[in-house]
Chain A
Amino acid sequence: MMNYILPCLYAFGASFAFAIVFNIQRNKLLLSALGGMLGQLAFVIFLNVLSNQAASYMLATIAIALYAEVMARLTKSPTTIYLAVALIPLVPGGGIYYTMLYFINGDIELGASTGIETLLISGALAVGIIMVSSTVNLVRKVMLKRKARMGKKYHYGQKN
């Protein structure tokens, strides 16, 4: 159990420090760092359920992107503040390193397979963000349209 909780706490600490590096406002530091913890937590849970790395990364990214959108609406600030900080613990730094290490050790096959896995994970992160942002945009547009139509009706009603 500790093996699952400790990495989440470390991800929280690292995200908090990254929030300082990005100069995020003092009262939003904690919220953005919580996103980093949430991403790691979601990743660990999905990895245990699905035991598929790329899919778990994608679902974890979807979780943090949803968190970022909700928090951005609640605190009336840009989504990037929460998304960029929360994304960093999910970036496959280890994959990049081991790809390079296998290559300089002369193990081309292992390096190539690790490299492709790393690329796949990066793609999963991108897809996760794209899915959430596009869906949120769509919902917002539909709601704006509905609001505009209702406003018109109300306007006509007043006229009569």
Chain B
Amino acid sequence: MTGSQLSHVAMEMGIILLSNGAETYRVEESMQRICFALGAREAEIFVVPSTIIITITMPNEIPLTLTRRIHSRKTDLHKVADMNHLSRQICYESLSYDELISEIDRINAIPSYSYLLHLLAFAFIAQMFTLFFGGNFLDSCLGFIIGLGIKLQMDVMGRLETNSFFINIVGGIIASTVAVIAAGLGLTANMNTIIIGSIMTLVPGLVITNSIRDIIAGDYLSGLTKGVEALLIGSAIATGVAVPLSLLRPFWGG
């Protein structure tokens, strides 16, 4: 395998891992593993949440550097798991360039769950967390509706490429507006519970986990970036929730 082929394969692998929610060290390790398994003499890889830089030196060749910037990120842990498996598999059995490319294409084309299922899952999260924090059945149904609304809003705004800070502010606004109005109409006495349950759908669980795990692995740059992202999302949610609570105060009478 030539140096340019190898760097291409490693880069494709890293891009899929990084843009689907893998930790920084996992991306670096996987790319390094495949480079050494396929005959590179040296492989230097630098990964931050938005960029991958890789320099490969094949025996008797000059070093080759490739840089790729990541623009959109989503969460698809199925792809991460399969890609991780592939990178370990390469160490045991040798695959040709074409086989590797077709395997990477297969992983990249793995379908995620259908949109309807995602929508229902979102609403179900809000419903379950409303019950979890002590709401009754009617409260949980309100949570279900808010969950649907938040998911639809996130997708519409995501398609318009709004930043995640603003998306979470609007999510918080939706959650607390519906809850405040329901409380004002006398539908529920547990306004706080509904709001808490619904905003749990916005909690960046994967970002928090990856931030901590990156910091443990010594990737302070990525760890801090993700930590700041989690903090910003948290404060965005609180800001969004605060707006209707303050403006509609006469309505809910707090």
Contacts and interface: CB of A to CB of B under 8 A. Distances in A.
A60 interface: no
Interface string B208-229: 1110110110000000000000
Contact of A80 (B79, B133, B213, B246): B213
A120 interface: no
A10 B132 CA distance: 6
A25 B110 CA distance: 10
A10 B129 contact: yes
Contacts, number: 139
Given A87-B208, A91-B203, A13 B128 contact: yes
B209 A87 contact: yes
Contacts of A20: 113, 117-118, 121
Given A80-B22, A85-B205, A89-B132, A96 B80 contact: no
- Give the interface size bracket for A toward B: 35 or more
B5 to A, nearest CB: 27
Contacts of B84: 77-78
Name the prevailing secondary structure of the B interface residues. helix
Nearest to B83: A78
Given A22-B206, A78-B22, A17 B132 contact: no
Nearest to B147: A17
Shortest beta-carbon contacts, A-B, top 9: A14-B128, A10-B132, A17-B121, A20-B121, A88-B205, A13-B128, A100-B238, A23-B76, A84-B209
